[in-house]
Amino acid sequence: MGKYTLVASYKGGAYISQYCTVNPFAAERVWANNLSAGFFSREELLEIQKQVYRNYCSGEGLPVPAAKPISSVWQNHYDIFGQDLRLDIIQTALW
């Protein structure tokens, strides 16, 4: 288990959250399932969740290491109705 900090950059703003999960892929899925309607419209929420879930189930589009040799930072990008959503995932602790 690890603690992961997720930073979503979208439409000029940032949405930051933390979750304890088994890996960064699970952290991304938990993040998508817990998004707040205060930051995203209902349509955006559903689109983000759909894309994250599709990537998670297919194994395609999973977060990739942001830079070598750093092994505790991952990134993913989503196109949400023509707007880029960048998701940075940082492992901030081990359990």
Q: What is the pLDDT of residues 35-63, one digit of tens each?
A: 988 888 999 999 999 999 988 787 776 66
Nearest-10 crossing angle of helices 24-33, 42-58: 150
Q: In the numeric block, which tokens belong to residue 49?
A: 């969740």
- The domain limits of the chain are 2-94
Other CB atoms within a 10 A radius of the CB of residue 63 amount to: 21
Rounded to whole angstroms, the Cα distance separating 73 from 89 reads: 6
Residue type, 40: F
Q: What predicted TM-score, i.e. pTM, was given to this entire model? A: 0.84
pLDDT one-digit tens code per residue, 12-23 = 999 999 999 999
| Residue 12 DSSP one-character state | T
Instruction: Specify the DSSP element, H or E, that contains 92.
Output: strand 83-94
